[in-house]
A and B are shown apart, each in its own frame.
Chain A
Amino acid sequence: MRNLRFLAIYRLKYAALIFAILPTLISAQTKYTLSGYVRDAGNGEGLIGATVYVDEIKGGTVTNTYGYYSLSLPAGSYTMTYNYLGYTAVTETIDLTANRTYTLEMKPNELLLQAVEITSEKVNRNVTSLETGINRLDSKTIRDVPQFMGEVDIIRTILLLPGVSTVGEGATGFNVRGGNIDQNLILLDEATVFNSSHLFGFFSVFNADAVKDLTLYRGGIPAQYGGRLSSVLDVRQKEGNNKKFGGTAGIGLISSRLMLEGPIKKDKASFMVAGRRSYGDIFAPLVNPDLKGNQLFFYDVNAKVNFEIDSKNRVYLAGYLGLDKFVFSEQFASSWGNNTATLRWNHLFGNRMFSNFTAVYSDYTYSLGVPTGANAFDWRAGIRNYTLKADFSYFPNVRNTIDYGVEAIYYRFSPGKARGIGDESFFNEIAVQQEFATELAVYISNKQTITEQLSMQYGLRYSYFMNVGERDVFLYENGKPTGDDAIIGTRRYERGEVIADYGGLEPRLSINYTLDPRHSIKLGYNRMRQYLHLVSNTTAATPLDIWTPAGKYVKPAIADQISLGYFRNMKDNMYELSVEVYYKNYQNLLDYRDNAQLLLNDNLETELLSGKGRAYGLEVQLQKVKGRFTGWVSYTLARTEIQVDEINLGKFYPTNYDKTHDVSVVGLFRLNDKWQFGSTFAYMTGRPITFPDSRFVFENIVVPVYNNRNGARTPAYHRLDLSATVVSQKKADKVFFFFDRPEKWESSWTFSLYNVYARRNPYSIFFRQDADNPQQTDAYRLSIFGSIIPGVTWNLNF
């Protein structure tokens, strides 16, 4: 074991050495570099993924997550076209006789979204980009899709994308291409978000007002990301308008929100701060007086400042604070929430190397307890991590972009500590030992344009994980944690001493073959390693579920995914079609023994099982991106199965979230400047569920006998939502009835209907004996929503 660890460290050092000498190897060329930022003219926000096209070389580049681009070209005069969807394209002639910077501010083109035939440029990024299985959404699209109770919600919106599904209405998280919810790396300004839900899953933690852009990677995941098997959801918060002060506000049925942004120093420094709080607890007692004294609310605060020190240095500080609180009179109280902080420094080494140094703190904590009385107690658990990262992008020439970097994460897992509180309580203190771990990674990848038709991105990531002391670890007979009775002793590990370590290479590959500007074929492969697992065996994850690291008895999970896609744009890029197939193979997936006890369990490993999995599917999406009518249709045909020796006699069985068919239809229609309409329709095959095949009566309790796990399915799920937004632009209009609206303020009302035809969609089917006639047993369908749910929101932009 010691030798292995030495080898791993040796490899890390070796890799670091390559990174250090790499730039000097490649930069020995005589070309000039054109570099700079592409930003929004209205608020100075960097535009992510804007294309920079050089006519003369029939090629170009794309801005990175900070809006930065760099191109190295031989001296000469070039016709450059800057393009970003929804913005007016800009064409410039640039004489390149020396290294120069050119920062461009692009204007949003309202017309583009309204008229059919406007753009002269072919926006065919969908076809030409290397990425497969990727979706990028800006906050506008997210806002326009009809929402549940009028609350704009990122996670609900991505559920409408192909390959993304959920176990049920109001369930925490999302499933991507057969991945469990813990297989998604969710990043908010590079900080890991461990629980993406408010209110058990009805709303997401992302306040759409504070979000600038999000990217979901389902396949072809670039080498810079790692640590989760199935997807990356990279959410970037707004940087704040560095030109003028402004904001948005909204009042809805569920929550109210306010976002303010503005320059601290014009064009140099800006801030953004956003807050949101729900108020169900305030109104619920008015409807039902029995609910008085109960609290059920969430809030979150997003804040970000950035400062451009000079043209080569910019620093950002971003933070998020969220909390759900739930008090059930004096009998019960619980709260949970994420906190994150990100400090980031962008630095340009010359014109050709962009660097980003990041320090991140992220924490998820929950507590619950009974506040008073004889069984008063308090229970806390959580996970915390600290991350240090350095990412570099090197632009040696126009055909290559090399990304490389290093990352180190330190984790502290607190699986739970419970103690009695107050004088009356008869509870003792129980603490499950904390666990500590370090995850290290280095990566390098190159994006290369080989010919006009063929481009590829190939990369390699090496990750290494150490579960470390201090901690006592149970020892089991034959080294197998089969149960409490197999414990033969404990071994004490000192602080920092390695308990178990794992590591390995993660190759990544994306290939694009562009047949012509309208269609292309893409191939993606990625291997991912995941060293943390969310321990949860309930239908929907609860806020109480804990994360546990790989260790002496739990191996890290590995997934290999291969995907092949056909991309085609039609009618002058008005329609985008993508057809993708994928196959995924999983190793060391976590499952649970029948009837496992997972909470406050000091020898959790005895309840865990390891299995293998496979997931495969077909995804089709047809999107209309321009015109008054926009939207998409997506269809997913998929299968996800797992095989564990101890369950279902070792046969493959479908996972809880296996959905054979999943259809989403999104239609957005802009009638005129005043009215806009949205609709979504979703259809999903029912989820796998276990039915009893017989019963027995124990004392007077009728007990169902279950044998075939996930052998049946709930009926299908389908739902239609509608929304209408009206922008009242009359000058005399008063803002929310109170005061005259200043000229530049714009207010709007959004009305929404969720579950229009009031279908009682099955969440689960369960079995119960009749309370009055105990011999009688029945099947029941649980629907989270039994009727149509209206929503109304008032929004203000200023």
Chain B
Amino acid sequence: MKIATIKTPDQVIIPLQQHAGAACNPLVRVGDTVSIGQLIGDGEFRIHSSVSGEVTALSEMPHPSGKDVLSVVIKTRNGEKKDINPEELHAGTIKSIIREFGIVEPNGLSTVSKKVDIDTIIINGTNTGDLSSNAALMLDHPSEIVYGLKALMESVGAKKAIIIIELNSEALHVMRTETIPDSNIKIVATPAYYPAGTENTLVTKFARKKVPRGSTPDDRGVLVSSIAAIKALYDAVHDGIPMIAKTVTVAGAVRSPGNVLVEIGTSVKHVIDECGGCSGTPVKIVINGAISGATQYSDEVPVIKTTSGILVQTESDINREPPAPCINCAWCVDECPIGLMPHLLYGYADSAQFDKCAELYISDCVECGMCAYVCPSKLPLVQIIRYGKHGVAEMEGGTMEAEA
């Protein structure tokens, strides 16, 4: 058992936006009694209550994205640990199942977005840096993941699937054993590298299909999904349970780090406390990975469907070295998974030459953070490139889409 369970918190804050796109409409009012698994928000992706209890507030609350988002606050009814009522699985397309059960990929999007012919499914089972929830899920639930994957393959008509796992991961052997009877599911071992999660690079590398700029992998018949979404799909199809919990890696300066199963809406503070609390004074709380995660203003933010890791950093983990001039070492150019020129983008964006930024394809940047990680001059590359992206968007008259 790699994934530990934690005590249900006294209160959950369930934001009505846990995906990219428009927020859901609330279906409950203050004072309502809700039961676990009950539908509380409707929209592009449905949102369900993760606990049984009473709705105490419906207001703007802190959200991991840094903005305040309309959220349903539910006070857990003490002592009552009611079993979830399985939701009736209506016969329907995979798209409606995903919507009804509120299954969101870690990037905030839907697993199946367009109605196209899918030939290959790629499951990203790699973990980067401090995150290990994918490996933990595969170790704990190998047969469930294969079941969920088969369901997805059948419903989209895919002929084969590839699960990508790191060479040194324990899950590699488990998943290989699990998929022996299935000749159409291939386990691919890869050396650990970052960023593995960029869809287009994954497809180019493992499905050997080039994804032209401006199109998505499903245009080429490839669907990219994640272990977390496949497990949620299994829960939905097999057990009728909507996405109300998430496996989250707790790492960094906590007393007992590891992977825990957390109800959606649980505050980060509660999760950290249940993992033994902080060791040392926490200075930075990062959600979703040390390299590309987002820092949090408060530890009151809830765990949402796209959360996969909580990292606590102390002062000694933080590099506050002032930036030095760029020395043209080209490490950022070598690291960029997209093939951009990060140091040039930095220079042009820093001097507000947005036309030059656009010429150098600044909008293709996926903000993986690798350039700023390797930079020996410690330049804030990602921050300035983001500024450049906004500048380019403004210059072109459009508005920058807010990132979830």
Do A and B come together as binding partners? Answer: no
List B residues at the A interface (Cβ < 8 Å): none
List A residues at the B interface (Cβ < 8 Å): none
